[in-house]
Amino acid sequence: MTATFVTFEVGDHTWGLEVHAVREVLPVHATTRVPRADETIAGLVNLRGQVVLSLDLRTRLGIPGERTPAEQMMIVVDRAAEPISLVVDRIGEVVEVGDADFDDPPRTLGAELRPFVLGAYKLTDRLLLALDVDAVTSR
């Protein structure tokens, strides 16, 4: 059996979300900061009249380093029937992977990332970390 993933980069890792979990992919919108909000909350964005919470995925995953604002994108997912925007460093491509390519998260993956990873798919030139969207949006 195969699965189709939207890929994206955060830090040095390639991540993926199953296509059916993704509502849309957009350039980063202007955000309104939420006073006293956790640093993982990038702010609120207006998507066609709907106010949507925006999470900074780099901060949420605890990945240090700088990002290139020009390449940042938002991946909008539904969580409990509400859209949430995930700000990522770079959007990738749509890939199909098979069950034979799936494995547990690599042992070299840091403990801080493990709660957010469902597993890893072996691609030709890299690993694709399958993001647990429920875990990343509930913390």
Task: Domain ranges for the chain, please list them.
Answer: 2-138
Place of tokens 């993933």: 5
Residue 66 pLDDT class (50, 70, 90 cuts) = confident
The predicted-structure confidence for 13-25, as pLDDT tens digits, reads as follows 999 999 999 999 9
Could you tell me the pTM of the whole model?
0.92
The values of phi and psi at residue 136, to 5°, are: -75, -25
Indicate the length of the chain as a whole number: 139
State whether CATH 2.40.50.180 applies to domain 2-138: yes
**C-alpha angle with apex 107: 102 to 113, nearest 5 degrees?**
85
Residue 27 has pLDDT above 90, yes or no: yes
**C-alpha angle with apex 129: 34 to 33, nearest 5 degrees?**
5
Residue 75 has pLDDT above 90, yes or no: yes
Please classify residue 125 by burial: count the beta carbons closer than 10 Å to its beta carbon, then call 0-12 exposed, 13-18 middle and 19+ buried.
exposed
Structure tokens that stand for 84 in this block: 């949430």
Q: Order across the sheet with 22-27: list the strands.
A: 22-27, 73-79, 82-88, 50-56, 41-47
